[in-house]
Amino acid sequence: MKQRISLVVGIFIVMALSNAIVPVLPEFANEMPALQGIIFSAYFFGAFVAVIPAGVLGDRYGRVPFIRAGLVLTVLSGALILLGVNPYVVTAARAIEGIGAGLFVACALSWVNVQPDHTRLSGYYFAALNAGLIAGFMGTGILTSQFGLYSGVILYSVLAIFPMILSFFIREAKTVPSEKMPEIHRIGWRNIWLYFSAFVLIGISGVLVSLYPEFTDESPFVLGVLFATMNAATICSSLIAPNISLQPIQTIRIASALVGIAVLSSYFLPLYGGIIPVFVLFVVIGGSIGFVFVSQMNYLAVTEEMQGTAIGLLTAATYGGMAFLPFLAGVVSEYLSYSAAFVVNGIFCLIVTATITRCRCTLPV
**DSSP string covering 189-210, please?**
HHTHHHHHHHHHHHHHHHHHHH
Phi first, then psi: give them for residue 347, nearest 5 degrees: -65, -40
What pLDDT shows up at residue 96? 92
Q: Which amino acid is at 141?
A: G
Banded pLDDT at 351 (limits 50, 70, 90): very high
What pLDDT shows up at residue 258? 92
- Tell me how far apart the alpha carbons of residues 280 and 269 are, in angstroms, rounded to a whole number: 11
What pLDDT shows up at residue 257? 92
Give the pLDDT mean for 51-79. 88
In the chain, the percentage of residues whose pLDDT exceeds 70 is: 86
Nearest CA to 259 among 307, 197, 318, 319? 197
What pLDDT shows up at residue 243? 78
Q: Are 278 and 223 in contact (CB under 8 A)?
A: no
Exposure class string for 30-46: b at 16+ Cβ within 10 A, else e: eeeeebbebbbbbbbbb
More reliable by pLDDT, 205 or 212: 205
| pLDDT at position 313 over 70 | yes
| pLDDT at position 31 over 70 | no
| pLDDT at position 274 over 70 | no
Banded pLDDT at 38 (limits 50, 70, 90): confident
Q: Are 49 and 99 in contact (CB under 8 A)?
A: yes
Helix (H, G, I), strand (E, B) or coil at 132: helix
Q: Which amino acid is at 281?
A: L
What pLDDT shows up at residue 353? 92
Q: Are 13 and 159 in contact (CB under 8 A)?
A: yes
Q: Which amino acid is at 262?
A: A
Pick the range with the lowest mean pLDDT from 94-103, 115-124, 280-289, 314-323: 115-124
More reliable by pLDDT, 178 or 337: 337
What's the whole-number average pLDDT of the chain?
A: 81
Measured over the CA atoms of residue 292, residue 313, residue 196 and residue 262, the dihedral's sign is: positive
| pLDDT at position 181 over 60 | no
Stated as kind and residue range, the H or E segment containing 242 is none
- Tell me how far apart the alpha carbons of residues 68 and 325 are, in angstroms, rounded to a whole number: 31
Pick the range with the lowest mean pLDDT from 88-92, 305-309, 332-336, 348-352: 305-309
The winner for highest mean pLDDT among 14-23, 48-57, 147-156 is 48-57
In the chain, the percentage of residues whose pLDDT exceeds 90 is: 12
pTM: 0.79
Give the pLDDT mean for 135-162. 79
CA-to-CA dists, residue 73 to 80, 96, 135, 171, 347, angstroms: 10, 7, 20, 20, 38
| pLDDT at position 76 over 80 | yes
Report all structural domains of the chain as residue ranges with CATH numbers, in order of start: 1-166 (1.20.1250.20), 183-365 (1.20.1250.20)
Banded pLDDT at 155 (limits 50, 70, 90): confident
